[in-house]
Chains A and B, each alone.
Chain A
Amino acid sequence: MARRLMLALFSALFVLYVAGPVLWLLSSSLQMESEITAVPPNWLPPHPGLHNFSAIFSAGDSAEYVNRGIAGFLPSGAANLLPSLYNSLQVGLWVAALNLVFSLTAAYAIAVIDFKGRRATLYTVLATRVIPDIALVVPMFLVIRNLGLINSLGALVVTYLAVTVPFTIFILISYFEGIPRDLYRASRIDGCGHWGALRHVYLPLSLPALVAALMFAFLTSWNEFLFALVLTQNVAAQTLPIIIAGFVMDFTTSFSFVNAAGVIAILPPVLLAVIFQRYIVSGLTAGAVKG
């Protein structure tokens, strides 16, 4: 009995630890600036309202938000928030889609086709991920500049693919290797070429791993900060993390506005996770156990 109680207690503490900041973010996004900064803090919004969100979606004409003193003031880059949200979505979806194309074909080749140097290929691909991103920033900047892609969404897509594809190849290979080899053989006998075997055997049987790869690629580009900071310069290509980070670099910070922006940043990944949740758990453990 005592054991169970302890267990419940620690679980609750852990949930609080993990979910606390998110809950506070939600709560404060519904409060006014003065309520957020009040001492003692308001755990629940005393006068919940969507004013911060409406400020985001009407950042162009900010007079009301400021004048009525609901929140106080708008950050200087407030008008960039929605465009950057759109940028982030575009980059994330492109990265997720292209990532799947590249890693699916590469993983199939390495896992299934018996060519000379397949192990070496795999290790080379994985080795690129041992180098910390910070060491790659300058070379990457030069490459992107020479490609003429600086300050474009393409720059981010290319870079994020370089970051995510090696991992997804690895996830997919371990999943593919758990698919019985005889199924591949049967498909070849039945009349499939390599594309056919990929489409009729490996694709339908590795859906969980594919969803995990998609999520991973999307989340990585959604969250990425360092490369985006270096490779983009203005609202044409800047993503959500850059813009939101910019809000707290103002002379004074509007916590109400920033926290509402944070809630918006959380929504797309959460939506994705909800849609695909039944695949995710088995996909994330795909590499751990074969079969």
Chain B
Amino acid sequence: MAAITLQGVTKRYGSVTAVQALDLAIHEGEFMVLLGPSGCGKTTTLNMIAGLEEISDGTLLFDTTDVTRLPPHKREVAMVFQSYALYPNKTVAENIAFPLKLRRVPKAEIERAVAGVAEQLELTPLLGRRPNQLSGGQRQRVALGRAIVRQPSVFLMDEPLSNLDATLRLSMRSLIKRLHHQLKATFVYVTHDQAEALTLADRIAVMRGGVVQQLDTPEGIYERPANIFVASFLGSPQINLLREGLPRPDWVAEGRDVIIGLRPEDVARPGEGLATLGGRVELVSPLGSETQLEVALSGGSVTLRVPKDWRVREGEALEFGVDPARLHAFDAATEQRIAP
């Protein structure tokens, strides 16, 4: 079992609906990221896949087997928690060995497996320690080790990196990516960090209020956001959204009430084939390789990222070019994308 299919999966806590009729087909060997703001139902979805939360409504399939009512220990999934969840009374070695011990794997085989995993995750010198004698990054590697030692075909991760500092997060991110290549297992990864999602995912499901807003590749999500929520959730700085002041793309019907979106980096020097816009520069923030600008247009102010050689000064007027094909258009009432 490696492909995961959710059909109309719903979770209700009393009157609160945490996840609403979720349809999601996760392919075998895929790295699927569930991305969304706090409280949107990511953890709940993951826990339902794991069997840790009962499914109120709908069906969950592993390949073609219905596992909706199967308890977690029969589902053969591995999971990594944000809090690491290491057994405090067990050593690192015992923590990693625990899933195998429960499966009555012969002792010699367990030792071999633990040694192999420890080698892979650089935990060998720490095997005799207890979790409270480890740093956060080491703990998270132990948690990873406990998950991979079983060689499961499904991996669930709930914000595994959010308790780590920025540098560690980067190195752990590439470790996880490497693990995915090596293990060829299906990964479902929960995060609210868009950079993590964009770098790791084969596909991203963007969630909001228990509903999937868009399911697509990282590129698709970024380039063709399905609605205003997705457009503004991804991208840093945020996409500029204006009712007026930006040119209307030619695929938008005349007279339709729309909101136009412009990614801060989608600007150039005025030139051939570009729509030219102008405004007063209100703020200049040099970022090293680039410069971030606040520019007041007729319909409101926009944030732009421009090469540092533009040499812009606050208070001056600025003219810049925009490729109309790179603009995003959304219906003002439904907030849905208007595709070219």
Contact (Cβ within 8 A) A193 B73: yes
Q: Does B62 contact A (CB under 8 A)?
A: no
Q: Contacting B79 at CB < 8 Å: which of A180, A185, A193, A196?
A: A185
Which residues in window 189-212 of A have CB below 8 A to B?
A: 189-193, 196, 200-201, 204-205
- The size of the chain B interface, using a CB distance under 8 A, is 25
Q: Using A191-B102, A200-B87, A204-B89 as known contacts, say yes or no to A186 and B73 having CB atoms under 8 A apart.
A: no
Question: Given known contacts A185-B79, A186-B79, is B85 in contact with A192 (CB within 8 Å)?
Answer: no
Cα–Cα distance between A39 and B2 once the two chains are bound (Å): 90
Contact A205 B50 (CB under 8 A): no
Q: Are B71 and A188 within 8 A (Cβ)?
A: yes
B residues in contact with A61, CB < 8 Å: none
Q: Is B8 an interface residue (CB 8 A)?
A: no
Q: Once bound together, how far apart are the Cα atoms of A190 and B99, in whole Å?
A: 5
**Contact across chains for A189 and B73 when beta carbons are under 8 A apart:** yes
Instruction: Check if B78 is an interface residue, CB within 8 A of chain A.
Output: yes
Q: Which residues of chain A are near B78, meaning CB under 8 Å?
A: 189
0/1 interface trace, chain A 214-241, chain B, CB 8 Å (1 if under): 0000000000000000000000000000
Q: Given the complex of chains A and B, what is the CA–CA distance between A187 and B79 in angstroms?
A: 10
With contact pairs A191-B73, A192-B73 given, residues A186 and B85 touching in the complex (Cβ less than 8 Å): yes
A residues within 8 A CB of B103?
191
Asked if B139 lies at the interface with its beta carbon under 8 angstroms from chain A, I say no
A205, B87: Cα distance in complex, Å: 9
Q: Any chain A CB within 8 A of the CB of B146?
A: yes
Bound-complex Cα distance A204 to B264 (A): 55
A183 interface residue (CB < 8 Å to B): yes
Chain B neighbourhood of A193, CB < 8 A: 71, 73
B51:A188 contact, CB within 8 angstroms: yes
How far does the alpha carbon of A158 sit from the alpha carbon of B287 in the complex, in Å?
76
Question: Closest CB-CB distance, A258 to chain B, in whole Å?
Answer: 47
Interface 1/0s, chain B 86-111, versus A by CB < 8 A? 11110000000011001100000000
How far apart are the CA atoms of A183 and B83 in the complex, in Å? Answer: 9
B52 at the interface (CB under 8 A from A): yes
Question: Once the chains are docked, how many angstroms separate the CA of A114 from the CA of B54?
Answer: 9
Q: Once the chains bind, are B72 and A189 in contact (CB under 8 Å)?
A: yes
> Contact string, A83-126, partner B, CB cutoff 8 A, digits 1/0?
00000000000000000000000000000001000000000000
Q: Which of chain B's residues have a CB closer than 8 A to the CB of A205?
A: 88-89
Report the bound CA distance from A196 to B73 in whole Å.
Answer: 10
Which residue from chain B places its CB closest to the CB of A205 in the assembled complex?
B89
| Among B50, B77, B79, residue most surrounded by chain A Cβ atoms (within 10 Å) | B79
Q: Inside 8 A of A190's CB, which chain B residues have their CB?
A: 73, 98-99, 102, 146
* B→A interface (CB under 8 Å): 47, 50-52, 54, 71-73, 77-79, 81-89, 98-99, 102-103, 146
User: Closest 3 A-B residue pairs measured CB to CB?
Assistant: A191-B102, A182-B85, A186-B85
